[in-house]
Structure 1
Amino acid sequence: MKPYWSLARMAWSAVLVYRGEFLLQLAGVAVQAVALFAVWRALFTGDGGGELAGLSWDQMKGYLFVAFLTGTLMSSFTDGQLAVRVLDGSVALDLVRPIDYQLARFAESLGFLVGELLVVAVMGSVLLMAFGGAPLPDPGQAGLFLLSLLAVVPLKFGLVYLVGLACFWTGNFHGLSLSRVAITNILSGALVPIALYPDWLQLICMLSPFPGIVSTPALIFLGQVRGTEAAYLIGIQLLWIAILWIGTRLLWRVAVRRLVVHGG
């Protein structure tokens, strides 16, 4: 495990070196979160302070905070760092190193994650205070929420890693990254709670891994799902983690066959 720990520390060092780019990309997520808070506050004000999607305004603030938190984890900075190894050819060097490529990239992602958590702690606190705070879960729900939040990390990594591997075929990741973010925002419930979607779109969401990124931890945080139901949703998260981990591992074996290295 020592090589992977070293990779995680190197990734954290890269965050410190490229802190301007790192903070700028996370600021983009924060701006989106502020806009969502403002839009939803206007919607609740226009509705006379009632409920939307079964949530009060105070609960919606908690939902949006979780969406901001999970949106910050494995940000586009991480996305780019994974893809660039394929695009600049440095992946060829990884093939001769005695480490597992997938585990190495996950270790690096955890290094970036440290910086993301520090930023979200500051930005998220300021955001909530600016909009009047939000209710916190009771201790039992808080434990389930933390489990669900921990599952978001490898789940989101699987999707980001998948985009990185797709660069073997596309030769570019910007379009793929933007598409991934857009699809994730819609199908995860980051922009609009899934309960407000039409039935056919809710079905598509439920058949995908995306609700596990925002909807599941948010509903647990708010106490909308408890006990067995919460454990079931966490189990779904773990199932998709396994599917993505194994699936991308098989895709990696196919992808490296396309690698062409020029030189002597």
Structure 2
Amino acid sequence: MRAYRALARTSAKNALTYRTSFALGLFGVGFQLVALLAVWRVLLEDGSAVNGFTWPQMRGYLLVAFASGALVGLLADFRMSFRIHSGLVALDLVKPVRYQEARFAEALGAVWIEALVVLGVVGVTVAVSGPLPLPEGGELALFITSVVLLVPLKFLVVYLASLASFWTQNYIGVQWARVAIVNLFSGALVPLAYLPGWLATVATWSPFAGMTSTPGLILIGRVDGSQAALLVAAQLGWVVLLWYGAKLLWRGALRRLTVNGG
């Protein structure tokens, strides 16, 4: 564990050292939050509800979407893809650590910094626009559990997309596709309730829903009790499935690795 803790510390130091890149990445997510808050405020502030969402609920939901976008290394995928395309990944293979666990440790290293930014943005939003609706008792515990599970779930989605670099010459297209798919099926752009019925059902039980929709709906009280517990259980199940699925894909990816012609 000492090696993984060292990787986590190094990742945190990199985030603090390269503050401009780190801040620009967060700015993009923050700008999306401001834009969506402005749009939904116009639509809902008069007290009306669209598909059952009131303005206070939508405000809380969008803050969860912001947290989902801000957490887990905004530049982690580019760092991994660069090392794969440049051949530097060969150096990672000779280190006495497991590749997937090492990348996860790096992602966790900067999470506390990103979490502080998220708490700051949430605090400012609450101060400007009023308190958030919060769940109580068991639902609050489920919400916290869902937010914790969001971290490994997002890492795994980013990590799996980054492994595509073993098969592609350019990662930009993969990254754009991943962002588009995640934003739609996680509910980050609009709640899944606004999608057509069949598509909303597919998205609800996909791994992406656990990145925004599940914690967001629990926070604002749209799901509770056994339904909330079932969604969190699905979130946990996807974390386990994707973790071991990523290990299988990694084995296949290694067969594609070519460094200096070998």
Q: Residue 35 of structure 1 corresponds to which residue in structure 2?
A: 35
Extract structure 1 runs of 4+ deviating beyond 4 A.
Answer: none
Q: Residue 117 of structure 1 corresponds to which residue in structure 2?
A: 115
Match of 1:69 among 67, 72, 77: 67
Residue 122 of structure 1 and its aligned partner are, at CA, apart by 1.4
In the TM superposition, what whole-angstrom CA distance separates every residue of 1:116-174 from its partner, at most 9, and x where no partner exists?
11211112222333333422222432221110001111111110001110011112222
Residue 207 of structure 1 and its aligned partner are, at CA, apart by 4.1
**Distance in structure 2 (CA, Å) of the matches to 1:129 and 1:83:** 40
Q: Does 2:226 align with 1:233?
A: no
Report the TM-score when normalising by structure 1: 0.94
In the TM superposition, what whole-angstrom CA distance separates every residue of 1:173-208 from its partner, at most 9, and x where no partner exists?
222112211111111111111111111221331342
Residue 263 of structure 1 and its aligned partner are, at CA, apart by 7.7
Output the amino acid matched with 1:9.
R
Match of 1:159 among 157, 160, 163: 157
Report the TM-score when normalising by structure 2: 0.95
**Structure 2: unaligned runs, 5 residues or longer:** none
Q: Does 2:33 align with 1:57?
A: no
> Across the two proteins, how many residue pairs are aligned to each other?
262
**Distance in structure 1 (CA, Å) of the matches to 2:86 and 2:124:** 38
Q: Residue 134 of structure 1 corresponds to which residue in structure 2?
A: 132
The aligned runs of 1:199-238 (5 Å cut-off) are: 199-238=197-236
**Distance in structure 2 (CA, Å) of the matches to 1:43 and 1:182:** 24
Q: Is the 8 A contact 1:83 1:163 kept in 2?
A: no
Q: Residue 9 of structure 1 corresponds to which residue in structure 2?
A: 9
More deviation, 151-160/136-145: 136-145
**Distance in structure 2 (CA, Å) of the matches to 1:9 and 1:184:** 28
**Structure 1: unaligned runs, 5 residues or longer:** none
Residue 37 of structure 1 and its aligned partner are, at CA, apart by 0.3
**Distance in structure 2 (CA, Å) of the matches to 1:129 and 1:80:** 35
**Distance in structure 2 (CA, Å) of the matches to 1:227 and 1:42:** 32
More deviation, 218-227/122-131: 122-131
**Distance in structure 2 (CA, Å) of the matches to 1:75 and 1:60:** 26
**Distance in structure 2 (CA, Å) of the matches to 1:114 and 1:99:** 23
Q: Is the 8 A contact 1:79 1:164 kept in 2?
A: yes
The aligned runs of 1:76-91 (5 Å cut-off) are: 76-91=74-89
Output the amino acid matched with 2:63.
F
**Distance in structure 1 (CA, Å) of the matches to 2:80 and 2:154:** 13
Match of 1:97 among 78, 95, 120: 95
**Distance in structure 1 (CA, Å) of the matches to 2:21 and 2:235:** 31
**Distance in structure 2 (CA, Å) of the matches to 1:51 and 1:72:** 28
